[in-house]
A and B are shown apart, each in its own frame.
Chain A
Amino acid sequence: MMFKKSYGFIYLTPMAILVVVLYILIAWNLVASLTLWNGILPTWHFAGLKNYINLFTFNRFWDDLRHNLIWLVVFIVPTTFLGFILADFFSSMKRSEKVFRQIFLFPMALAPVVTGTLWAWVYDPGSGVLNSVIKAFGVNTARLGWIADPRIAIYCMIIAGIWQYVGFAVVVYLGAIRGLPTEMYEAARLDGAGRVRIMFSITFPNVGHGTLISTTMLAIFTMKVFDLVYIMTGGGPGDKTEVLPFLMYQIAYSQRDFGMGTAISIVILVLAAAMVIPYSRWAISKWVQE
């Protein structure tokens, strides 16, 4: 027993080091956000909350936060819903389930840079796949700008995100559905419930933990989304697809205002924590109960 406990500590050591480093960096970031550090000059002039005041009076920050919230709603709900429907569908399959699962999981294996490049090519208003197909049906595509249209650019980008992450929701839900007792389904069928009724009245309420995991993980993704924006639009048209992580990168590295850049990173951290903490509390309480 003693042998096992000792080795338990040893196995935990690398992770403990990582966690300590992580918290040191967060603290370092917090301190930097209170300075007028421009990234190049080694001197840090303490500025109190100036960066935060500048940030909260900066229209671009609020625009970008709004775009993050659009991602949160428009990305998570369809991804989760679609993931659940597909998982339910696949769970009733036999051998072909493996094939379909791989197909839907494949986009997850792609780097977001690849996804972004691929979808930018699909959406290109001039020579993109989408407009070429529409043109083939004789429709005038002159007004179909997709990611170049300020009104719909962010939604077009979110579709690319859904395409990439729906496989994740499928896998989470498949695991959750597999764990459900079959007796419930037999009883429901005996009572005459149809497939759709069973899906929404029996399966969905019983895979709440899957929904929680899926939505939490996807929410964290929306707070960190950067690659798709950087590759597909560079934040444009104007700043219509710009999100907070992109703003952070721009301010810190392109504009060399690391003080404000770190302030944005702290805001992102707080927002992400607000999403993760409820999930963590739930997961820990469930673990303790077990």
Chain B
Amino acid sequence: MKVLRSLFLLLLVLAVTAGMAFASGSTESGGSSSSGGTAAPAKQFLIYDYWTAGGEKQAIDALFKMFKDKHPGVEILENQVAGGGGSNMLAVLIGKLQSHNPPDAFQASMGSQLKDYADAGYLDPVDSIWQSTNYANNIDPMWVKMMKFDGHYWTVPLNAHRTNWLWYNKKIFDQLNLKPPTDFNSLLADAKAIKAEMPNVAPISLGVKEKVWSTYIFDMVDLLTGGVDFMQKVDSGVIDYKTDPTFRKAMERYAELLPYFYPYSSTKTWDQAAALLKTGDAAMYWMGDWVLGYFLSIGMKPEVDFSAVALPGNVWEGHADSFPMPKGAPHPQLAKDWLEMLTTVEAQKTFNLIKGSVTILNNVPSNIYPDPYRKLSADTLHSGNAQVTSDGFHGGLMTANFGGDLQNILTQFLSDGNVDNAINQIANAAQRDNLKQNMSWYWAQ
């Protein structure tokens, strides 16, 4: 009897707990999945992004304002997950995607990382938006290649970040009477001159507390050694790493630069490494144009405190941020309206002027940008004459898995400079991660 009574009470508690859990779960799903149901949920637009830093936060807020002006009754529910170049957001988002409970929109990139979402069946194609806006004809073909798989467009890009920029402390360059580099040899010569004349100044700043920036230097030496096609082949696993002489030469060049990097790069994030140019602790910095917003925010003046040169000048290397259409988005019409808004000149101008990037659209005049760097970036990208390529990691020219391994190998390489070991490890990682096969879509197009 005692046992029966205990059992009964236990079952009762379990039933009540399960009932409560079910009730709360059904309320949540009801709130987010009914697109045409009650009025309150229909007015909510759930969006995930990882723009949390100064500048980029204001940029997305400006787009939200624009969207709200067109949809006054809509409440935007923004979920921001900072850090990790989006990997932290993925950690949060993945559960929602897998349980078929997606948001209305989420920030994505391009290339292999976008393809992962498409292959998993989490996205609906956005062909109608591209076709109705004639988007493919208004942007560089490179973007199309990185966003169109299996005959469908999968996302809508809204900005273009150039990454092959070498920023430099103008006062140091003027003081030492140095010319900005134009190729690898002049870069190395400048670094040597700075080290000889100013031993307390790091010739090249670097912050690899977030290891991904080591891959940017990797892309740089590949670009400056073998050109665009070679860099793309390296990133996508097409070459034989162990025997390719150009790749060895590129890695040897990477090793040649090691004594000239900021020696404590492992303690700095990208923005902390940028700040070394302001304090005069470093002279040059290889970084994408988002650093421009940071320089301005810490009071540095263009062409007074700093300047920049694109290396190589006839190459536009970079990546875009984009928004795809999640399959089963709770408010598909709002999601479509959001994506359509992103394709407009007005939205792209508003966003990019604040964000520090340039428009994807070619038909926006470059004189809207207040600084010479973005003007040059826009002119180069939109001219149709430059070689345009996406960058390796953020541009999706490599898989996330290989990219992670590469970062680790390269940050190790930064401290030991062992070229043979690095080449072997990169070859092994490419094999282990099945890089060539997983990137075959890129070369099949």
Contact = CB atoms under 8 A, between A and B. Distances in A.
A92 interface: no
A60 B411 CA distance: 13
Nearest to B438: A38
A124 interface: yes
Interface in B120-148: 120-122
Interface in B386-401: 400-401
Contacts of B6: 5-6, 9
Given A13-B13, A126-B281, A148-B266, A253 B209 contact: no
Interface in A233-267: 233-240, 250-251, 253-257
Interface string B368-405: 00000000000000000000000000000000110111
Given A54-B432, A234-B209, A237-B414, A255 B403 contact: yes
B75 interface: no
Nearest to A8: B6
Given A42-B121, A254-B84, A254-B87, A147 B116 contact: no
Interface string B193-207: 000000010000000
Interface in B404-421: 404-405, 408, 411-416
A99 interface: no
Nearest to B122: A40
Interface stretch (B88-96, B167-175, B316-324): B88-96
A17 interface: yes
B9 A257 contact: no
Contacts of B98: 42
Contacts of B328: none
A255 B405 contact: yes
Contact of B408 (A39, A54, A60, A142): A60
A235 B10 contact: no
B432 A120 contact: no
Nearest to A41: B120
Contacts of B416: 238
Q: Which of B119, B267, B403 has the most CB of A within 10 A?
A: B267
A125 interface: yes
A188 to B, nearest CB: 50
A150 B168 CA distance: 28
Interface in A122-144: 123-126, 142
B201 to A, nearest CB: 12
Contacts of B412: 238-239
A254 B83 CA distance: 11
Contacts of B97: 40
A124 B267 contact: yes
Interface residues of A, number: 43
Contacts of B119: 40-41
Interface string B60-80: 000000000000000000000
Contacts of B210: 234
Contacts of A120: 267
Contacts of B200: 142
A233 B267 contact: yes
B10 A125 contact: no
A62 B87 CA distance: 25
A148 B267 contact: yes
User: Interface of chain B, helix or strand or loop or mixed?
Assistant: helix
B5 interface: yes
B9 A236 contact: no
B87 A253 contact: yes
A235 B415 contact: no
A123 B408 CA distance: 23
B211 interface: yes
Contacts of B411: 236-239
B270 to A, nearest CB: 12
Nearest to B88: A253
A1 B168 CA distance: 80
A273 interface: no
Contacts of A10: 9-10, 13
A9 B12 CA distance: 11
Contacts of B404: 250-251, 254-255
B443 interface: no
B263 interface: yes
Contacts of B405: 255
B17 interface: yes
A7 to B, nearest CB: 8
Contacts of B414: 237-238
B94 A236 contact: no
A41 B5 contact: no
B264 A148 contact: yes
Contacts of B116: 38, 40-41, 256
A253 B91 contact: yes
B98 to A, nearest CB: 6
A201 B405 CA distance: 52
Contacts of B14: 13, 17
Nearest to A260: B401
Interface string B91-126: 100100110000000000000000011011110000
Contacts of B179: none
Given A13-B13, A256-B400, 8 more contacts: A42-B98, A148-B264, A148-B266, A235-B408, A237-B414, A239-B408, A239-B412, A255-B405
27 contacts: A2-B2, A2-B5, A6-B6, A6-B9, A7-B9, A9-B9, A38-B401, A40-B90, A40-B122, A41-B116, A54-B432, A126-B281, A142-B200, A147-B267, A233-B209, A233-B267, A236-B411, A237-B265, A238-B266, A238-B413, A238-B416, A240-B415, A253-B87, A253-B88, A254-B404, A255-B400, A256-B400
Which A-B residue pairs are the 3 nearest by beta carbons?
A255-B404, A236-B266, A148-B264
Interface of A: 2, 5-7, 9-10, 13-14, 17, 38-42, 54, 59-60, 120, 123-126, 142, 145, 147-148, 150, 153, 233-240, 250-251, 253-257
Interface of B: 2, 5-6, 9-10, 13-14, 17, 84, 87-88, 90-91, 94, 97-98, 116-117, 119-122, 200, 208-211, 263-267, 276, 281, 400-401, 403-405, 408, 411-416, 425, 432
